[in-house]
Structure 1
Amino acid sequence: MARAPAKADKPARLAVRLTPRGGRDAIDGWMRDADGAPCLKVRVSAPPVEGAANEALEKLIASTLNVPGRAVKVVAGHQARVKWLEIVGVGEADLTRVFGVVP
């Protein structure tokens, strides 16, 4: 009998470089920040006003990973371009499968 994949015990962390008012909601792939650290490049059409861009980011990532919206939260960088997300219910292998290998 096949085993079901185990759910991640602790949330996965993901660095994202967000572009608000990007014309459309899209994930543009991996990039390196100024320090050389990898981050996922994402654009959303929402403006950076009253958390709208952060909310759009959370919804886009949740939809892409096929997890509930409440599973994705911005935990750092709320007003910065580079943000840290915590995602409940996925592991590093899931992030690699969906977003590709980090360069």
Structure 2
Amino acid sequence: MSEWFRQAADGRITLTLHIQPGAKKTEFAGLHGDALKIRLAAPPVDGKANEALIRFVADTLKLAKSAVSLKSGQTSRRKVLEIQGAPLSAIQAFGTTN
């Protein structure tokens, strides 16, 4: 199993992410050490980047925003998200998407 995501026994999946806010467009950018790098077009101001990250991941997985929550890294580039209700195969595809 990859280092940037983990699946709990109850089906919840945690993602370790490295975020680059203020990018030209929002996209997956491959692996960054033990984290998946995501470029966000939103600026790192007033929680806008965190909101954009949750919306981007939820939309990509076709889930409600309430299924994606920020567990740590509120003000850091390194963030941990928790996802409920997504198939593991969809998460694994993140690492191969550019």
Structure 2 residue 52 is the aligned partner of structure 1 residue 61: no
Gaps of 5+ in 1: 1-7, 33-37
Gaps of 5+ in 2: 1-8
TM-score between both structures, scaled by the size of structure 2: 0.80
Q: Of the two, which has the highest radius of gyration?
A: 1
Question: 1:5 corresponds to which residue?
Answer: none
Question: What secondary structure is seen at the aligned counterpart in 2 of 1:94?
Answer: helix
Question: What secondary structure is seen at the aligned counterpart in 1 of 2:50?
Answer: helix
Question: 2:3 corresponds to which residue?
Answer: none
Equivalent residue pairs, number:
88
Q: Taking structure 1 as reference, are residues 94 and 9 closer, same or farther at Cα in structure 2, changes over 3 Å only?
A: farther
TM-score between both structures, scaled by the size of structure 1: 0.77
Structure 2 residue 10 is the aligned partner of structure 1 residue 9: yes
Asked if structure 1 preserves the Cα contact closer than 8 Å seen for 2:36 and 2:95, the reply is no
Q: Taking structure 1 as reference, are residues 100 and 48 closer, same or farther at Cα in structure 2, changes over 3 Å only?
A: closer
Alignment of 1:1-103 (within 5 A): 9-32=10-33, 38-96=34-92, 98-100=93-95
